[in-house]
Every structure is written in C-alpha cells, then in structure tokens.
Amino acid sequence: MLKKKRIAILTGGGDCPGINAVIRAVAKKAMLEHGMEVIGIKDGFEGLIHDRHRKLGPSEVSGLLTLGGTILGTSNTSNPYRYAVKNGNELIFKDVSKTAVANLKSLGVEALVCIGGDGTLGIASRLMNDGVPIVGIPKTIDNDLRGTEVTFGFDTAVSIATEAIDRVHTTAQSHHRIMIVEVMGRRAGWIALYAGVAGGGDIILIPEIPYTLKAVRDKVQERKKRGKRFSIVVIAEGAKTQGGDVVVRKIVETSTDPVRLGGVGFVLGEQLEKMIGTETRTVVLGHLQRGGSPTAADRILATLLGAKAVEAVVAGEFGRMVAVRRGEITTVALETAAGGPRTVPRGHPLIAAARALGTSFGE
C-alpha cells in the first residue's frame, strides 16, 4: 500500500475566534479531498520543541466551526530560536530550533501549516529557511498583519467591542459621565476605529494618531455646550499622547513580544476628571475581545483561508502565507507577515467619514 501523505498543524500566539474553524477546514479538506493524515502539534512551538502532538481524525475536527479558542492549545512564549530555560535562579535563552526541526521530521510530515500572527509567522519563516516546508495562515484580532487586507478574528473582536460600547451608552447618559472603553490594539488601531465608529464613539484614540489632552477636553466641553452631558471615548491600548509613550502594564521576559500594554484608559480617565471635573469611568475589555464563538464572517473567512492553505500544500507553494488581496483569496511571501505591523493610514476613508460626522481623534 502507498503511504498516505501527512501534514501537521500548529497554532501559535494568542487565541483568537476562528482558529478552530481553520483547523477544521485544513483537516477536512486534507483528509476528504486528498486522503492525507493530519497531525496537530500541541501548544504551539512548545509542542514542536517537546514533541507533543495528536492525530486529528474526522471525529476530532467535527463540531469546531462555532467553537472559540484552539483545540490544540497555544503558547506565545515558546520561540525555538530563543527558548527560555531556568539555569538555577537565572533565566537563560537557548536556540533549540534544531530539536524542533528534528521532532517535526521524525513525524514524517510533508508540510507544516502555521496559524498565527506576526510573531508566529516570523518564527515560521525562519524554520522555512532551515528546511521546514511551511504554509502560513494569518491570525490576529488586531487585523495588523502585512500582506493581507483582513485577518480572521477581527470581525468578532469588533462585534464584541461594539456591543460593549452600545451598553455603556446607557450608563453614560443616565449618570452624565465620560465613559472610556479601552480595546486591544498595541500598534494598530483597527479595532478601536471600527468599533468606535460602529458604536458611535464621540472620541476615538488610536496609536497612529497621537492625541492631546486639550483636544479630548475640548471635544467633551463642546458636547456639553450643545446639551450633551456625556461622552464616549474609545481608546486602543497602544494609544499615546503627542510626545508621550504607551502605558506598559508589565514585562514578560519569556515572551516573543515581552511588553504587555494596558491601563491607558484609566490614566486618561484620571486626567480628564482633574481637568473637567466630570465623573469618568473606564472599562477595559481585554481578553473578552478574543474569546467565544466567532461571527459568521470570521467562520467563512477561516474556512476560505484553511482550504486555500491545503491547496498551497498540494501545489508545493511553501514559504507562502494565504491572504486576502483585493477581495481574492491568494498567497503572499511568508516573510511579508513579519515585516512590521499594518497600521491604519491617516487617510483611511473611515477616519474621514467619522470626522465628517463630528468624531474627534484627539488631534
């Protein structure tokens, strides 16, 4: 009997609505259309380093379309080229990439499908250069990956953030408060922009447009003069004042991206209360944005990207990332995703439309 072709799937970085839908699409197409065996690597690159994996059959990938998270587990601290190990009380970093490559080769797989953001796909690009045949699938709620116009998980995050903004409106109106909603977005303000517009935010603050406290104060006071005794501020966690810096919550040394942001909404709230005297409340959505069931749009996108990834494997198009370009599902060079964040252009039509309706961006 001819030996079945075998592929592996890995999910790295933060969890994201739609990962399981991608796993389902990759595995089902590989098994049903091409008769492949599918191996799931557990806990991202951690599983590759320590040779932890599981076989994915039809029953393992059934019912995943609506399920949040990832059935394979994930890790954002397991870079095989900079793997943290304890040496007594000291934390040191080792290059264990050869072990990871050897473990993968021992599985007899013909390709590795990597689902992740810029960190995961950057590592995947290096593994590709070390001889591992890889196809990448872009994943991040931040929608900030280069090479693709949209990533799965973004639509779900925007929907969750928009609902939260809708809900704080009633509290803001009832108590005549400034309500600040802090959303994710370390380097790019896509979630804040889209959810802020969809939720009717009066002030939207994103990393791409540094703000001034004076501009925020002036917008709140202008609304007061018009009889609007409340204001809604939507702020990305990576937003900062002109000439200022981001608010860092903590540093995780073992992570591929050690800086953890968070709390800029509280800082802004305290500043506004002192300047204006209006009661201010801050809501930080945090991981609520990345949990739970994906929206219909994300389920569809995840399915399209997963199916395209298998096509790339079959065609031998390794070192590529599946992507959305000009509305079409295609592939781009894998290293494109590691080329820095895709930020919101200042001339984005949604910014222009929001400004035309009276929204302030804190300038």
**Residues known to be catalytic:** 142
Name which of 144, 201, 183 is nearest 361 in CA terms.
201
Name which of 246, 150, 228, 155 is nearest 195 in CA terms.
155
| Burial zone of 213 (CB within 10 Å; 0-12 exposed, 13-18 middle, 19+ buried) | middle
Going across the sheet that includes 78-79, the strands are 78-79, 82-87, 90-94
User: What's the number of CA atoms in the CB half-sphere (13 Å) around residue 150?
Assistant: 21
Dist. CA 213–CA 100, nearest whole Å: 49
Cα torsion angle, 150, 152, 158, 163, sign: positive
Question: What residues contact residue 304 under an 8 Å CB cut-off, 6+ apart?
Answer: 25, 329
| Burial zone of 49 (CB within 10 Å; 0-12 exposed, 13-18 middle, 19+ buried) | buried
Dist. CA 263–CA 89, nearest whole Å: 31
- Strand residues in the chain grouped as ranges (E): 6-11, 37-41, 53-56, 78-79, 82-87, 90-94, 111-116, 134-138, 178-183, 203-205, 231-236, 248-251, 259-261, 280-284, 320-325, 328-333
